[in-house]
Amino acid sequence: MNNNESYKQIVFWAAIIIGIGLVVAGMIWLVSLQANKPTDGSVTIENTIAPDDWVKGNRNAEVILIEYSDFQCPACAYYSPLVNTLSDEFGDRLAFVYRHFPLPKHQNSKPMVYAAEAAGMQEKFWEMHGLIFDGQTKWADEKDVKNIIVGYAESLGLNVEQFVKDLDSVELKKRMDETFQKNDRIGITYTPTFFLNGKRISNPKSYAEFKDIIAKAINENPEKP
């Protein structure tokens, strides 16, 4: 093979490699464009805490983070410890509100909502919330989760008899159905969806990013004297 020929070969394959590289780079650019959609205030909700809301932190804080979440959603389980740490870190400056948004495709979401609410009647909502998310992979595919739920109640030291009574009560289901309908009207399409002071934020990619967003909001909303 003469020099000219091998030179042509090299140019040809270099062009192919560059072409493939460009395709990959273009794809990365496209995906990151999608992922970094600006924090959109396009969807907003009323920035108030209802009396029946579950709140962690200070109910009267200037900065309110509201999460619409589904106990069976893996992404929600991922965010659960992050939000806990945020709440610990910002203490009284932040109110974290957890609202139920069980997706219809998740068969065990609603039973877990009832479990958390029944535990809430004995002042252990957040403890149950934590156990449910921690154990998500264990119960997500189970046909019957009642035993698991009762096991959680026992481990939290709840009055199990009362817990089971509340869990099975028609009133709880009726009350939750109203809650689900109310939360459905917000018009969100994915979980978790976070609202910071009433404005939807795109889901932060890391704890550090989440912390920055909250810290910024806190700086913009100085404490009332």
Partner 1 sequence: MKTPKNLKTLAIIFLALAFVGFLDATYLTTQHYLGAIPPCVLTEGCSAVLTSEWSKVFGLPVALLGAVYYLVLLILVVAYLKTGREKFLLTASFMTALGIISSIWLVVLQFFIIKEICFYCMISATTSTALFVVGLFILVKSRRENQTPKSFNPSQVT
Q: Which residues bind to partner 1, rule: CB under 8 A?
A: 12, 16, 20, 23-24, 27-28, 30-32, 35, 70, 73-76, 78-79, 103-106, 189-193, 203, 205-206
Contact yes or no for 115/152 (Cβ under 8 A): yes
DSSP character at residue 192: S
| Host H or E run for residue 160 | helix 160-168
In the complex, what is the shortest distance from the CB of residue 183 to partner 1, in angstroms, rounded to a whole number? Answer: 13
In the complex, what is the shortest distance from the CB of residue 153 to partner 1, in angstroms, rounded to a whole number? Answer: 26
| Host H or E run for residue 94 | strand 94-100
Of residues 23 and 50, the one with the C-beta less far from partner 1 = 23
Of residues 128 and 140, the one with the C-beta less far from partner 1 = 140
Q: Is the peptide bond before 204 cis (omega within 30 degrees of 0)?
A: no
Of residues 167 and 201, the one with the C-beta less far from partner 1 = 201
Q: 3-class DSSP state for residue 43? A: coil
- Cα–Cα distance for residue pair 190/102, rounded to 1 Å: 10
Looking only at the bridges linking them, the beta strands covering 94-100 and 199-201 are unpaired
Of residues 31 and 50, the one with the C-beta less far from partner 1 = 31
DSSP character at residue 45: -
In the complex, what is the shortest distance from the CB of residue 165 to partner 1, in angstroms, rounded to a whole number? Answer: 31
Of residues 7 and 12, the one with the C-beta less far from partner 1 = 12
Rg of the chain on CA atoms, in Å = 24
Of residues 79 and 163, the one with the C-beta less far from partner 1 = 79
Contact yes or no for 59/28 (Cβ under 8 A): no
In the complex, what is the shortest distance from the CB of residue 78 to partner 1, in angstroms, rounded to a whole number? Answer: 5
In the complex, what is the shortest distance from the CB of residue 9 to partner 1, in angstroms, rounded to a whole number? Answer: 8
In the complex, what is the shortest distance from the CB of residue 123 to partner 1, in angstroms, rounded to a whole number? Answer: 29
Residues 118-142 as b/e (b if ≥16 CB within 10 A, e otherwise) read bbbbbebbbbbbbbbbebbeebbee
